[in-house]
């Protein structure tokens, strides 16, 4: 409970006192009292103080009387108690008017009021409240610490905190995605809208909570931000609630750190299994299925593999993004939340500078189409982390096919390096010519063919960054339909016409079917060479 101006009016020491202005501020918090003994009092008071005075220091200064109420209000004081009679006959009307306009309470004290006793009374009630706040903080700390030391999970900590503070609790990750809610919110639809400066708008059914109706605390440990702990309520100014959420956030951070330490060890063993599978060292379906169960991974065939490549020159930022996606289980949570694939049918690992996603496809009717749709969902979720290339393999029908499909998915993901514009999704089945290209042992022959057909365009793209290679790819995919190609590229039709004109200037004849066929083959060779680091882009 907080102490307000209304509470102070109930003190015995203020018997006979009367609120004469600023009634809209009766709910202002009071944390201490200050006596006005000097004219320039502003340097000696703090926010939420209640000033007690006879106005003696400014009794003969009309300008000071006009200025005092606005200045005290600006400093965030709770209000002012004035004892008229000895130094001022009555409280000046200008002060009454200003106080009403600013909702700044003025309490008129009776002539026999003892200012020192009033200040002591306010201090006593503030100290009692402070002691209750400390007791509550210690109870929260003791209860949650005991649960933490006994190995309680984060969901248990969230529900225990909600029970103690008697308010709903929400736990968000660092990207404002919901991780846990207290049990009193489970039955409701909770939506989080992230604003600027770490602010959120929270909607529960039809009720809106803005930053004035919740307390938010960052959860951080070891330099890592894990998310936000949020306490909902009508009046979130209580110091006890603030201190409780601070204590809880500290213990939540420790719990997260403990979990991630365990996951780090588990991940190293999991990655070893993934490497064995991708290298062909696990040759039995039964062996793969049984070993995967250790990591709550259900391997059903057919499987689909995706490779997610962040294309960036800033390696540090790229690695941080990969770490975030893995540590927060962003992909697993996303697909589980959308009810696209069961959580235990998904496994995500980091291999060879990419994130590799395994997922069961037994329930998919059209595996290629549905896997591309899933990739689009992932791309939409991760798009804010930069330019992405997502490669998709053909179905894995048994454990022996994993190494081949892994090569496919890596090649598909690396195609994005050659496309200088937007993020891309590339299914290996759309590049079946790669199997033929791989059979050509003389890479110089392949490079010369690309140079003859696309050399000028590649060079122009490198200097002018007009995305001509990507434009060619989309035009071919859309059978040279300019309207559909412009829509796929997300550019204006006239922009595409300009690019096509530039392609013609650089020697490409789009009206010659044979030439278009040669260009299509050269483009596939170029993408394959880039994917295999055999072309300097």
Task: Reply yes or no on whether the pLDDT at 497 is more than 60.
Answer: yes
Per the listing, tokens 């890592």 go with 224
Cα angle 163, 164, 165 (rounded to 5 degrees) comes to: 100
Distance CA 73, CA 52 (A): 15
Q: Which of 37-41, 122-126, 258-262, 487-491 has the lowest mean pLDDT?
A: 258-262
Distance CA 261, CA 208 (A): 37
What per-residue confidence (pLDDT) applies to 537? 53
Arithmetic mean of pLDDT, 449-466: 87
Q: How far is CA 534 from CA 259, 442, 525, in A?
A: 42, 12, 10
Task: Reply yes or no on whether the pLDDT at 64 is more than 80.
Answer: yes
Task: Reply yes or no on whether the pLDDT at 273 is more than 60.
Answer: yes
Residue 405 is inside which H or E element, if any? helix 402-414
DSSP, residue by residue, 325-348: HHHTTHHHHHHHHTTSS-GGGEEE
Q: Is 111 helix (H, G, I), strand (E, B) or coil?
A: coil
Arithmetic mean of pLDDT, 181-210: 79
Q: Is 460 helix (H, G, I), strand (E, B) or coil?
A: helix
What per-residue confidence (pLDDT) applies to 370? 94
Contact 325, 331 (CB under 8 A): yes
Cβ neighbours for 207, distance < 8 A, ≥ 6 positions apart: none
Q: Is the pTM of this model over 0.75?
A: no
Contact 5, 105 (CB under 8 A): yes
Cβ neighbours for 77, distance < 8 A, ≥ 6 positions apart: 45, 47, 48, 49, 50, 51, 104
What per-residue confidence (pLDDT) applies to 150? 82
Q: Which of 196-205, 486-495, 524-533 has the lowest mean pLDDT?
A: 196-205
Distance CA 78, CA 93 (A): 20
Contact 154, 259 (CB under 8 A): yes
Give percent above pLDDT 90 in the chain. 25
The token pair at 162 is 């909600």
SS (H, E, C) 130-149: HHHHHHHHHHHHHHHHHHHH
What per-residue confidence (pLDDT) applies to 376? 92
For CA atoms 375, 378, 383, 389, give the dihedral sign: negative
Give percent above pLDDT 70 in the chain. 94
Residue 36 burial class via C-beta count within 10 angstroms: exposed 0-12, middle 13-18, buried 19 and up: buried
- Comparing 176 with 346, which gets the higher pLDDT? 346
- Predicted confidence band of residue 83 (pLDDT cuts 50, 70, 90): very high
The token pair at 484 is 């559909």
What per-residue confidence (pLDDT) applies to 38? 83
Q: Helix crossing, 482-489 with 493-505: angle to 10°? A: 110
Instruction: Identify the bridge partners of residue 202 per DSSP, sorted by sequence position.
Output: 192, 209
Q: Is 446 helix (H, G, I), strand (E, B) or coil?
A: helix
pLDDT 10s digits, 122-178: 888 777 777 777 777 788 888 888 887 887 888 888 888 888 888 888 888 777 777
Arithmetic mean of pLDDT, 205-224: 79
- Predicted confidence band of residue 69 (pLDDT cuts 50, 70, 90): very high
What per-residue confidence (pLDDT) applies to 465? 82
DSSP state at residue 110: P
Task: Reply yes or no on whether the pLDDT at 42 is more than 60.
Answer: yes
Q: How far is CA 471 from CA 205, 418, 487, 497, in A?
A: 45, 12, 12, 11
DSSP state at residue 22: -
Distance CA 408, CA 391 (A): 8
Q: For 386, left (φ over 0), alpha (ψ -120 to 50), or beta?
A: left
Task: Reply yes or no on whether the pLDDT at 191 is more than 60.
Answer: yes
Cβ neighbours for 286, distance < 8 A, ≥ 6 positions apart: none
- Predicted confidence band of residue 417 (pLDDT cuts 50, 70, 90): low
What per-residue confidence (pLDDT) applies to 295? 83
Strand positions, DSSP E, 118-254: 169-173, 178-181, 190-194, 200-204, 207-209, 214-221, 224-232
Give the chain's radius of gyration (CA, Å). Answer: 34
**Domain annotation for the chain: domains and CATH numbers:** 5-125 (3.40.1390.20), 151-260 (3.30.450.40), 279-431 (3.30.70), 434-537 (1.10.10)
Distance CA 6, CA 25 (A): 9
Arithmetic mean of pLDDT, 59-85: 93
Residue 419 is inside which H or E element, if any? none
Task: Give the Cβ contact number of residue 178 at 10 Å.
Answer: 18
pLDDT 10s digits, 305-342: 999 998 887 888 888 888 888 877 889 888 887 888 88
Cis check: omega of the bond before 496, within 30 degrees of 0? no
Residue 470 burial class via C-beta count within 10 angstroms: exposed 0-12, middle 13-18, buried 19 and up: buried
- Comparing 258 with 455, which gets the higher pLDDT? 455
What per-residue confidence (pLDDT) applies to 68? 94
- Predicted confidence band of residue 200 (pLDDT cuts 50, 70, 90): confident
């Amino acid at each position: 409970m907080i102490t307000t101006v209304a509470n102070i009016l109930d003190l015995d020491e203020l018997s006979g006192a009367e609120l004469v202005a600023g009634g809209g501020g009766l709910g202002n918090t009071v944390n201490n009292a200050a006596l006005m003994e000097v004219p320039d009092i502003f340097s000696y008071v703090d926010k939420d103080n209640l000033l007690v005075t006879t106005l003696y220091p400014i009794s003969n200064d009309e300008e000071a009387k006009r200025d005092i109420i606005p200045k005290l209000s600006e400093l965030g004081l709770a209000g002012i108690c004035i004892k008229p009679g000895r130094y001022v006959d009555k409280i000046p009307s200008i002060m009454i008017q200003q106080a009403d306009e600013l909702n700044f309470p003025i309490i008129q004290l009776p002539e026999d009021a003892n200012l020192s006793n009033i200040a002591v009374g306010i201090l006593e009630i503030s100290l009692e409240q402070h002691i209750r706040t400390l007791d509550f903080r210690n109870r929260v700390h003791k209860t949650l610490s005991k649960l933490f030391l006994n190995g309680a999970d984060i969901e248990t900590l969230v529900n225990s905190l909600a029970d103690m503070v008697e308010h709903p609790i929400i736990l968000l990750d660092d990207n404002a995605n919901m991780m846990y809610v207290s049990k009193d919110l489970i039955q409701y639809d909770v939506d989080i809208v992230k604003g600027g400066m770490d602010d959120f708008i929270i909607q529960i059914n039809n009720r809106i909570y803005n930053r004035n109706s919740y307390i938010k605390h960052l959860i951080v440990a070891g330099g890592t931000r894990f998310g936000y702990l949020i306490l909902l309520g009508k009046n979130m100014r209580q110091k006890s609630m603030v201190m409780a959420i601070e204590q809880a956030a500290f213990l939540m951070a420790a719990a997260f750190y403990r979990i991630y330490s365990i996951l780090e060890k588990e991940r190293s063993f999991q990655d070893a299994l993934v490497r064995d599978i991708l290298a062909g060292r696990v040759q039995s379906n039964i062996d793969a299925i049984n070993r995967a169960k250790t990591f709550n991974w259900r391997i059903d065939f057919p499987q689909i593999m995706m490779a997610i490549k962040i294309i960036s020159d800033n390696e540090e930022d790229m690695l941080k993004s990969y770490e975030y996606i893995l540590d927060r289980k962003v992909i697993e949570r996303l697909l589980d939340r959308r009810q696209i694939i069961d959580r235990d049918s998904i496994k995500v690992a980091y291999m060879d500078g990419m994130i590799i996603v395994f997922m069961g496809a037994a329930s998919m009717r059209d595996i290629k189409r549905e896997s591309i749709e899933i990739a689009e969902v992932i791309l939409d979720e991760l798009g804010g982390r930069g330019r992405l290339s997502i490669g998709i393999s053909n179905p894995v029908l048994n454990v022996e096919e994993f190494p081949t499909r892994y090569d496919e998915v890596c090649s598909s993901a690396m195609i994005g390096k050659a496309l200088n514009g937007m993020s891309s999704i590339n299914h290996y089945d759309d590049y079946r010519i790669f199997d033929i290209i791989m059979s050509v042992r003389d890479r110089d022959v392949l490079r010369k063919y690309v140079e003859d057909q696309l050399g000028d365009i590649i060079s122009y793209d490198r200097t002018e960054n007009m995305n001509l290679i990507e434009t060619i790819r989309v035009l071919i995919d859309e059978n040279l339909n300019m309207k559909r190609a412009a829509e796929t590229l997300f550019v204006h039709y006239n922009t595409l016409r300009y690019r096509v004109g530039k392609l013609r200037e650089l020697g490409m004849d789009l009206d010659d079917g044979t030439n278009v066929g040669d260009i299509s083959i050269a483009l596939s060779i170029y993408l394959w060479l880039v994917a295999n680091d055999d072309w300097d882009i």
